Amino acid sequence: MHETGTRVDVAIVGSGFAGLGAAVRLGEEGRDYLVLEKGHTLGGTWRDNTYPGCACDVQSHLYSFSFAPNPEWTRTFARQPEIRAYLEHVADRFGLRDRIRFGAEVTAAHWAGRHWDLRLADGSRVHARAVVWGTGALHEPSVPDIPGLDEFAGTAFHSAQWRADHDLTGRRVAVIGTGASAIQFVPAIQPQVASLTLFQRTAPWVLPKPDRPVSAVARRLYRAVPAVQRLQRALIYARNELLVSGFLKPRRMALIERFARAYLHRTFAGRPDLEAKVTPDFTIGCKRILMSNDYYPALKRPNVDVVTEKIVRVTPNAVVTADGAEHEVDTIIFGTGFRVGAGLGKSVPITGRDGVRLADQGAVEGFLGTTIAGFPNLFVLTGPNTGLGHSSMIFMIESQLDYVTAALRLLDEHGAVALDTRQDRQDAYNAALQRRFEGSVWTAGGCASWYLDDDGRNRTLWPGYTFDFRRRTRKVRPADHELLA
Ligand code: NAP
């Protein structure tokens, strides 16, 4: 390390799907880039989430880079080890490893007039003209502040920090949360544990998952005729987009809700008590629609108890609910989700023009989910309002990378140093976006979800068709930005 630090044209923070995708695209453009990865291996969310049963609920053919189709997927919905291996493969195939600095944790980012000054945990610095922020929106585990948790004498951990060293065999386990992660690990651990007490605050909608092995014949076909896999991908993409119409006009969700209700009723035949507990009380789609074939069956097992009473405290050996019941356990697993958007200026301070701190902005708004007024040459992947409940985030990331590469080309053409989004354009963009949420299932569906922030605005999801996002990110309109010389 020396005083001035490393100089690079573009610094990419994170080596998950976003960071690696950025590396490939910037490499293709012949740009000088460096990936900064705080861990010692790559893979982002698919490296961190190793809980039993971890898998993707977006179809494998679509949940992969368009420029790196994988004919070898062994299931229609890939599981975590296979997705992680895919990312390792992408790094090798595109020769990215030499340009990833591992153990490089960015602790602060500051716009220094003509470049970004990144500070790393080891005291070193990186100066970059542009920064691509690829740390993901669901990155920091959220553990509720339950009174007494500190005094719990057993083992407690979050699903994204799974304790593989803690053998669950014969344990009395509490699981808190019934979201996308919990519904995957609950059926995976249920056969192993002595008892599983599942604390459900809100019953989610769960649909059957059309997950099945991909035959060796199909894999051979994809290898020999890549167009077949591309066609599959296009069909899956188109089918998923059909849901958007229902998200925007919730009464159109009636059919799918009827289907989900019938599935639930069939599965819990003879167990009306349990059926009542797990029947959601909001319009399907208001929260992420979950998919599983083994979650509901697991809840019916004799060693599982679904508790809907509010948790009030934890004692050294129990979780206590509002009805006074003490549920004795020796392990607590939190499937309680993530601190949404925590990566954006909160845990890592980001300071833009005129010393403005992103954290001081309250809820962060962006422009096309990628740029933020006042923060020149900062490109956030999976930024504000890019989230999806129905399709692949990889599609959104690739759209954003179109925008990033177009922006950098625009700077070259104009001999400019940086691009800063105009505040008025950003405000108009967000006002229009918020109008689209009015009457949508996320706003009018009768649920409280992490999609909405403290002021009730949805700054998480893209409120429309993803092809519209792709169209809008294809080009950079110079009028939307100020070019800094
Ligand atoms: P989540 O969907 O946010 O679910 C968190 C769960 O914990 C909810 O059931 C929530 O209840 C409950 N909870 C939170 N705080 C609580 C508290 N204080 N007391 C009791 N219950 C509490 O989190 P996640 O399951 O980790 O999933 C997060 C996101 O990651 C997903 O929405 C999805 O985008 C992504 N994910 C994707 C996949 C995939 O297959 N692609 C898999 C896993 C995760 P409420 O509903 O009442 O808030």
Q: Tens digits of per-residue pLDDT, 334-393?
A: 999 998 765 588 889 999 999 999 998 878 899 999 999 999 999 999 999 999 999 999
Domain, as residue range, for 64:
6-140+339-484
In this predicted structure, what is the pLDDT of residue 2?
43
SS3 421: strand
Q: Report the distance separating Cα 414 and Cα 97, nearest Å.
A: 32
Q: How many Å lie between the centroid of ligand 1 and the Cα of residue 138?
A: 10
Q: Give the type of residue at 300.
A: K
Going by C-alpha positions, the residue among 145, 149, 141 that lies closest to residue 332 is 149
Band (235; pLDDT cuts 50, 70, 90):
very high
Is pLDDT at 409 greater than 80 in this prediction? yes
Are residues 391 and 461 both part of a single domain? yes
Q: What is the pTM of this model?
A: 0.96
In a domain, 11, yes or no: yes
**Domain of 307: which CATH number?**
3.50.50.60
Are the C-beta atoms of residues 226 and 205 closer than 8 Å to each other? no
DSSP 8-state code for residue 324: S
CA–CA gap between residue 202 and residue 179 (Å, rounded): 9
Residues 6+ apart with CB under 8 A from 330: 154, 155, 171, 172, 173, 317
Which residue's alpha carbon is nearest to atom 16 within ligand 1?
336
Tokens found for residue 407: 């922006």
Q: How far is CA 358 from CA 143, 349, 432, in A?
A: 24, 7, 22
170 CB under 6 A from ligand 1? no
Asked if 100 and 82 touch (Cβ cutoff 8 Å), the reply is: no
Specify if 288 maps to a domain. Answer: yes
Whether the per-residue pLDDT at 310 is higher than 80: the answer is yes
60 occurs within a structural domain: yes
53 and 99 part of one domain: yes
Taking the centre of ligand 1 as the mean of its atom positions, its distance from the CA of residue 103, in whole angstroms, is: 28
CA-nearest residue, atom 18 of ligand 1 = 144
Tokens of 72: 């070898």
Rounded Cα distance, 275 and 272, in Å: 5
Inside any domain, residue 359: yes
Q: Give the chain's mean pLDDT.
A: 96
Asked if 199 and 298 sit in the same domain, the reply is yes
CA 387 – CA 365 distance, rounded (Å): 13
The predicted-structure confidence for 19-45, as pLDDT tens digits, reads as follows 999 999 999 999 999 999 999 999 999
* Over residues 101-124, mean pLDDT: 97
Residues 268 and 159 in one domain: yes
Q: Quick check: is 230 in a domain?
A: no
Residues 375 and 347 in one domain: yes
Would you say 200 and 206 are in contact if contact means Cβ atoms under 8 Å apart? no
Residue 316 C-alpha to ligand 1 middle, in angstroms? 25
Instruction: Quote the ligand 1 centre to 176 CA distance (angstroms).
Output: 10
CA atoms within 13 A on the CB side of 304: 20
Q: Assess whether 315 and 413 both reside in one domain.
A: no
